[in-house]
Amino acid sequence: MQIITISREFGSGGRELGKRLADMLGFDYYDREIIAGIAANKDLDARFVENVMDAPPVWQTVSLTYGHSFALPTVQTLQTDLLLEQKKILEKIAQAGRNCVIVGRNADIILADYLPLSIFVCASMQSKVKRCIERADASEQLTPAQVERNIKRIDKGRSRTREIISGGKWGDRSQYNLIVNTTDWQIKQLVPAVAQFAEAWFQQRN
């Protein structure tokens, strides 16, 4: 079985790259499905789950949105609980034995035993802001400065979560097989080259 994991800076196009890669290779694709699975198993709202796992600070949101449970655990306990649930879901995906691309969720760490090809996707702040604004719904008209603050907040959360899970530094070259900086690229033009990396990886791994 072949697993490709994609970690990414918010707005870098990592999700698009992952989706296109899965399409090209005929692999399954997992992204929001994992958060949705955690939310369903834990009877929580998916957006809340994403917030707790990805984007601290979350203290102020807990009492308002902590779903259907009557006990009100600390955020840390809750985060640990959700991370364990995420681990279960990722392992279930891997055990199904189908080739797949998994975006986010530190799947490269959690599924390290399956020897995934681990990719990190980044871009310049200017390029990320541009992409976010282009992709935004008409309803969410943010200024570039607001978008930049969002990007920084979300990536800070991802960075902290990775540290909790692996002790490793998010986005650091020591942590991944490949880092792709999408700044001056059209994502779709990158796909065949990344696919060839994947092919070489799974060939030599066997």
C-beta of 23 vs 172, nearer to a copy of itself: 172
CB of 126 to a copy of itself, least distance (A): 11
CB of 168 to a copy of itself, least distance (A): 12
User: Rounded to whole angstroms, how far apart are CA atoms 107 and 15?
Assistant: 14
C-beta of 12 vs 86, nearer to a copy of itself: 12
Secondary structure letter of residue 193 according to DSSP: H
What DSSP line would sit under 150-173, residue for residue?
Answer: HHHHHHHHHHHHHHHHHSSPTT-G
User: Is residue 103 part of the contact set for a copy of itself (CB under 8 A)?
Assistant: no
C-beta of 66 vs 170, nearer to a copy of itself: 170
Q: Contact region for a copy of itself (CB under 8 A) — 42-50, 52-60, 139-147, 190-198?
A: 190-198
For tokens 């991944």, the residue is 176
User: Rounded to whole angstroms, how far apart are CA atoms 75 and 65?
Assistant: 12
User: Is residue 176 part of the contact set for a copy of itself (CB under 8 A)?
Assistant: yes
User: Is residue 113 part of the contact set for a copy of itself (CB under 8 A)?
Assistant: no
C-beta of 139 vs 189, nearer to a copy of itself: 189
Sequence-distant (≥ 6) Cβ neighbours of residue 10 within 8 angstroms: 128, 132, 150, 151, 154, 155, 158
